[in-house]
Amino acid sequence: MDLDSAQSAPTQSPSTGERPFQILALDGGGIKGLFTASLLKAFEDDLGCTITDHFDLITGTSTGGIIALALGLGKSPQDIVDFYLKKGPSIFRNPLKGLVFFKHLVKRKFNPKALEEALMEVFGGHLLGHSQKRLVIPSYSNDSCLPCTFKTRHHPNFTRDWKRPMVDIALATSAAPTYFPASTRIDNIRHLDGGLWANNPILVGLTEAVSYLEIPVSQIKILSLGTTGALTNRSRRMDHGGLSQWAWDITNILMDAQSNGATFIAHNLLGDQGKQPQSERILRINPTVPPKLFELDRIDERRILSLASETSKAYTPRLKEMFLSHQAPSFTPLP
């Protein structure tokens, strides 16, 4: 985390003129990141393009952060799909069942070694400074109880993060409480999943563009991709407000509230409140699926790949209209 980034300093903003500045924001969601990667691949297939060529900044949280880092390194969506298909079962294998459930009350659910080894295969010894795109990756410090972000060197004050190994940042953004332990690979700080405060990182990207890159809000467009949302019927028992009524749904409710709230605020900041889903500034894609169809640690691969294909067909015309006329200039990190 660049502690210096809170200080003001001159910045080398992209030379935009009236050209759009386009942000790709990728939600967290565990193994459901396969949907995000598959959707990006489907977009490329349907549009005949390289999707990252059209975005000036990428932000991603947790599994979305892993995807963002891979895209920054030049990995294709197909490469990332293959990663989830091949490594997902080993990362999320043997979920606790039966009496073993009680172990989960005092211990993380999955072995972090499998995740670390899988990420090493993707990122190797690459540093954040090797990214070909501007990146902003959220995490959370359990020591200072403060949100933090890891950023490429696109501002003079960002002097530390570019030296960090990508694999360390990937582990820091994806250390989901109860699923994996805190990651201490960066400065021995206990980093937790960025989804604790920015599972939908749309505001992270918007803030970066406005505050540090000094992009006028009138030029900003955002493609925000979720990992699917579940259509749920909140039990009326929850109206009583007791622990037993709320315990099983509270995580999903908090995540939904954070995500929807972030999108709502972003629409307001860009001046198109009340226009969604016809917004000309933000395209939010997060298809709703039946309850329990996909979970953070369990998916039906065939169905999620099919959903990505169907979603691409539905949104390709809008995506082309909003984003493909812009070609992002190549990113050169500051010296």
- The full set of domains in the chain, from first to last, is 21-93+108-232+253-324 (3.40.1090.10)
Enter the tokens of residue 119. Answer: 């990420």
Single pTM value for the model: 0.88
Residue 254 CA to its chain's centroid (Å): 17
Rounded mean pLDDT, 136-152: 97
Q: 84 with 37: CB under 8 angstroms? A: yes
Rounded CA-CA distance 187/262 in Å is: 30
d(C-alpha 40, C-alpha 34), whole Å: 10
Which of 70, 58, 43 lies closest to 324 in space, CA to CA?
43
CB distance 306 to 42 below 8 Å: no
Question: In 3D, which of 66, 294, 84 has the Cα closest to residue 166?
Answer: 66
Give SS3 for 321: helix
- Tell me which H or E stretch contains 252: helix 250-269
pLDDT digits (tens, 9 = 90+) for 95-129: 545 444 444 444 455 677 889 999 999 999 999 99
218, exposed or middle or buried, with CB in 10 Å at 0-12, 13-18, 19+?
Answer: exposed
Token digits of residue 86? 């091949």
Residue-wise pLDDT tens digits, 31-64: 899 999 999 999 999 999 999 999 999 999 999 9
Catalytic residues: 62, 193
Helix (H) or strand (E) holding 257, with range, is helix 250-269
- The pair of three-digit structure tokens given for residue 69, joined into one six-digit string: 């880092």
In angstroms, the CA 116 to CA 234 distance is 36
Determine the pLDDT at residue 105: 42
User: β-strand 57-60 against 134-141: which pairing, if any?
Assistant: parallel
Give the range with max mean pLDDT: 13-22, 83-92, 230-239: 83-92
Both tokens assigned to 260: 């929807």
Residue type, position 60, single letter: G
